[in-house]
Amino acid sequence: METISEVEEKNYPPVTLKFLSTDKFAKMLIGKKGDNIKRMSQESKCKILITGQYQTIRHLEITGKPKDLANAIQLVSDCIQLNFDTYINRDLTVPNTQILLLMLIPKIITGGIIGKRGENIKNIRRISGAGL
């Protein structure tokens, strides 16, 4: 399996990651007059789009080089954490309320992500600390 730096050196085309988001989270990520999404796009060097206006479930699409995608996801996460209380009625009696972000993965690449005997997915869980 190639590392991110090896992929960058080969100059592969940009990658698009797609996530599902509620309308409330989408509005939070967009920000007033689109300020949040513009800032995150500029800082990460990625194209960040939110589609599905007027729908309860929206798509968040992030397109860019692999190393830039990691930065974009971090910026999205930071934006959610900073603005969570403002946009969501949070139950403060529940510590560490989790934020769920669903990533859409094409069926054709799921085997590569899982890896032989689940090794890739185990490494992703171990390194990121995320529940997959």
pTM tops 0.75: no
Q: Does domain 15-100 have CATH number 3.30.1370.10?
A: yes
Residue spans of the domains in the chain: they are 15-100
Mean pLDDT for the chain overall: 81
Please enumerate in sequence order all residues whose Cβ is within 8 A of that of 54, keeping only pairs 6 or more positions apart, or say none. none
- 109: which 2 tokens? 């690449």
Predicted confidence (pLDDT) per residue in 64-105, tens digit: 998 898 899 889 988 888 877 665 555 555 455 556 677 777
Mean pLDDT of 24-31: 87
pLDDT of residue 108: 81
**107 pLDDT above the threshold of 70:** yes
In 3D space, the residue among 64, 65, 66, 50 whose CA is nearest the CA of residue 101 turns out to be 50
